[in-house]
Structure 1
Amino acid sequence: MNIVQTAREVGKSPAAVTLGLVALSFVFSDAAYAGGGGAEFDDVWATLREWTEGTLGRIVAGTMILVGIIGGIARQSLMAFALGVAGGMGLYNTPTIIETIMSATLEKAATVTPAVMQLSNGLGG
């Protein structure tokens, strides 16, 4: 069987045609960017951030650590204490982590793009 016969056989398959159309739609699609909307939830985010990093967050984090200490004593294991400390630290730092992930930017993208293009296809530009 040669290449032409194989191409004809694959062309008869509905799955292969669908896959080819999906691939073409990716090739000819424009760049997509995340939306900048959602300003109506800024107050909710500010409230949650104040709760977790304010007095309430410190109380909850301290309680988690205290429960971890008590659990560690009851089980005679340091693991419960470590989980309590990690949970308290995670709770306090969650807003910072979320904002860092969601607002990540590529500051050096303009200088790196030509090198990446050179590496991606080997031809360069």
Structure 2
Amino acid sequence: MEITNKANNKANLLFHVGLVMIVGLMFANQAHAGTGGTEFDDIWTTITDWTQGTLGRIIAGSMILVGIVGGIARQSIMAFAMGIGGGVGLYNSPTVVEAIMTATLESAEKIAPAAIQFSNGLGL
């Protein structure tokens, strides 16, 4: 009895997954990755200005100051290093996000033969 229930549950699950996939494919629109979203440009500019402007410097300085106080209280330089790391990370985070999101493969056609050689070892 238990074996047939498990088999029925698996068949039922596969049926429902297949049904969801078919319905999803029927109603799928053409994807436009990376297009649009310009309505959020003002928000991104504001966040970048905050983190790299006066507010970001105040917060980064506060992180460093709290790290110094924590380092003195714990008698360890590690809290100071964490404050420095947090401040530097806060200031540079918009630059890192921009670099990741706008990355391109400018030399892809030059390295493609070598990448194919490394991937399968046959050079085909």
Quick one: distance in 1 between partners of 2:113 and 2:36? 31
SS at match of 2:104: coil
For residue 113 of structure 1, report the CA deviation from its aligned partner.
Answer: 1.6
Match of 1:78 in 2: 77
After superposition, the CA RMSD in angstroms is 2.2
Number of residue equivalences: 96
The one-letter code of the counterpart of 1:89 is V
Match of 1:39 in 2: 38
Change (3 A) 1:75 1:118: closer
CA contact (8 A) 2:117 2:123 kept: yes
Change (3 A) 1:98 1:123: closer
Percent identity, aligned pairs only, is 62
Quick one: distance in 2 between partners of 1:96 and 1:123? 38
CA contact (8 A) 2:60 2:87 kept: yes
Match of 1:108 in 2: 107
TM-score with structure 1 length normalisation? 0.68
Gaps of 5+ in 1: 1-13, 19-31
Quick one: distance in 1 between partners of 2:116 and 2:75? 57
Gaps of 5+ in 2: 1-10, 18-30
SS at match of 2:33: coil
Match of 2:52 in 1: 53
Quick one: distance in 2 between partners of 1:123 and 1:88? 47
